Amino acid sequence: MRKGMLYVLLSISGLALFFPIMYAFSVSFMTSDDILQRSLVPTNPTFQNYVDMFASVPIGHYLLNSFIVATVTTLGMLCVSALAAFVFAFVPFKGRGGVFILVISTLLIPWEATMIPNFLTIQSFGWMNHYLALTVPFFALAFGIFLLRQHFKTVPQELYEAAQVEGLSTFQIFYKVVIPYAKTSFVTLGIFGFLTTWNMYLWPLLVTTNDSVRTVQIGLRRLQADEVATNWGIVMAGVVIVILPTLILLMIGQKQLQKGLTKGALK
C-alpha cells in the first residue's frame, strides 16, 4: 500500500515537473489561433513555427557556437581536473591536505562574486568576442577535482604498486592505470560539464558583443525579444530546439551520471 502511494506521488511529481516541457513542445506545433485560445494540444499541427524560427535568427550558427564551446570546455575541464586530482591522490608533497582543502573551499565562493575580476582579466588579454573567453575560465573546476580525486582514492594500492614495479613513470601510471579505472567518473563529469556550459547565459552575454561566437542561449533571448508580441509558437519552437540536445544527452547518460556521483563517495 505504501509502495503504491509512493509510486502515485512520484508519478504526479514527474508529470508536474515535465509538464512545462510537454506544453512548450505542443505550443511549437500550434497555429496562432490555438495559442490565443489557450489550447493544450494543436488542432492543426504545423511545422511553420520551426520554419519561421530558423528564418528569424541564425539559430544554426548559435547552436554550432554552443556545441564548440561546450565540447572544448568539457575536454579542458576533464584534463585539468584529472591532472589535479591525480596529484592530490597519489603525489605526496608537504601541505597536500591543506592545499586540497583550499581548492575545495572555492566551492563556497559564488560565481557572481568572481565575475567582475574574471571579466577584467579576459578584457586585458584581448579575448573579447573569442572562444577563449568562453572556455578557458571554466577549465579549473573544484567540483571536478573533488569528484575525480575521490574516485582515484579507490584505486587499489596493490595495483598502483604493481605499476611502479613494472617500471611505469608517474604519468604512464596516470593514463594507463588510473584513467581506465575511473572511466565512470570521467563520463559523469563530462555530462555535468557539457550540460552546465550549454545552459550558460550571463557569462557569454558579458564577453561577447556580436553574433560571431555567441551561444544559443543568447539567441533564444533575442528570439523572445523579437517575437514576444507576435507569435509564441516561434519562441517555443526555439526552446524545443535548444533543449533537445541536453534532453538526449541526459537520457543517454542518466545511469552513468547517477553511478559516477555515488561511486567513491564513501571513500
pLDDT tens series, the chain, 267 aa: 777 888 889 899 988 888 888 888 898 888 888 888 888 888 888 888 888 888 888 888 899 999 999 999 999 999 999 999 999 988 888 888 899 999 999 888 888 888 888 899 999 999 898 999 999 999 988 989 998 888 888 888 788 888 888 888 888 888 888 888 888 888 888 888 898 898 888 898 889 888 888 888 888 877 777 655 567 888 888 888 888 888 888 788 777 776 666 665 444
- Check residue 126 and give left, alpha or beta (phi > 0: left; psi -120 to 50: alpha): left
Query: Within 13 Å, how many C-alpha atoms sit on residue 246's CB side?
Result: 20
User: What is the predicted pLDDT for the residue at 267?
Assistant: 47
pTM above 0.95, yes or no: no
Judge whether 172 and 93 are in contact, CB under 8 Å: no
Judge whether 136 and 76 are in contact, CB under 8 Å: yes
User: What is the predicted pLDDT for the residue at 76?
Assistant: 94
